[in-house]
Each structure stands twice: as structure tokens, then as C-alpha cells.
Amino acid sequence: MAKPMSILNEEFEKIKTARARLQEFLLKLLTPSVGALESGAADLMVAVKCLTQLEPALGSRHRSTSVDRALHTEVAGLRRELQQVNALMDGAGKFHEGWARLLSSASDDATANYTANGKPGAPIFNDSNNEVIHG
């Protein structure tokens, strides 16, 4: 027994809405900031809500083969976008973890090489190691 067309259209709209919100979040993750992540949380919540509403409908197997293929294509696109979000979030997490590690292990001497506005100070040469330290 085939579903009425309006229900099928609802299913496609929910998937498309979820994908659109994930794409918005992906764009925000390309230049991650606290504000982008906070507003991205709203995008993710809308996507999750759409998918939660869609889950029971996808569980029923009363669709035609062409509808199954179309839904499969949309869900595959959604899966790819979720993988991209995951990869970008993982990369952002590792980046900030590295910064935190650097900041926590830095001695007062190492952080003294930068001015209050974050710019390098005057270089101090260490001839024994051929290194330049900004001070």
C-alpha cells in the first residue's frame, strides 16, 4: 500500500531541512569561533528534530522502489554531510586541544616573548642552538 503523496513530500522536506541546516553548520565550521559554534548548535538541533520526526516514517516499508531510491539518495547525502561535520569538529577539537596543551606547558619565559597584544617582541638570539626567540 503506497503512502499518500503529501506524507512522502513531508518525508523529503524533513530530510532536505536537516541537510540544509547541516550545510549551514558546515559553513560555520569553516571559520570556527565560539559564536559560530553556539549558533551552529541551533542548526544541529533543528536537524536532529527533523530526523527524529522522520525516523518512524523511514521505518515503515510501504513505499515503492522509486521512492525508496529517492529517500536513499537523500539519506546518503545527509550521511556524507554528517561525516563532514564530524571531521571538522574533530579537527577543531584537536586544534584547540593543541593550543591548550601549548598554553598549559609554556613557561613564563616562553610567554614573555610576546607583547600584550599577541605580537612577537624583539628577537633574542641564542647562538648555541641557532634559534631565535622573540622577547
| Residue written as grid cell 503506497 | 2
Higher pLDDT, 44 or 113: 44
Cα-based torsion angle of the residue sequence 50, 51, 55, 61 in order, rounded to the nearest 10 degrees: 90
pLDDT bin (cut points 50, 70, 90) of residue 108 is: very low
Domains, the chain, ranges and CATH?
5-107 (1.20.58)
Which pLDDT belongs to residue 135? Answer: 44
Which cell numbers in the block locate residue 119? Answer: 605580537
**Residue 124: is its pLDDT beyond 70?**
no
Helix (H, G, I), strand (E, B) or coil at 131: strand
pLDDT bin (cut points 50, 70, 90) of residue 1 is: very low
Higher pLDDT, 77 or 129: 77
Residue 125, H or E segment: strand 123-126
Pairwise CA distance, residues 33 & 40, whole Å: 10
Helix (H, G, I), strand (E, B) or coil at 33: coil
- Do residues 124 and 134 lie in contact, with contact meaning Cβ atoms separated by under 8 Å? yes
Q: What is the pTM of this model?
A: 0.59
**Residue 83: is its pLDDT beyond 80?**
yes
pLDDT bin (cut points 50, 70, 90) of residue 113 is: low
Pairwise CA distance, residues 44 & 24, whole Å: 9
pLDDT digits (tens, 9 = 90+) for 30-63: 887 778 888 888 888 888 888 888 777 666 656 6
Which pLDDT belongs to residue 93? Answer: 81
- Give the β-pairing of 123-126 and 131-134: antiparallel
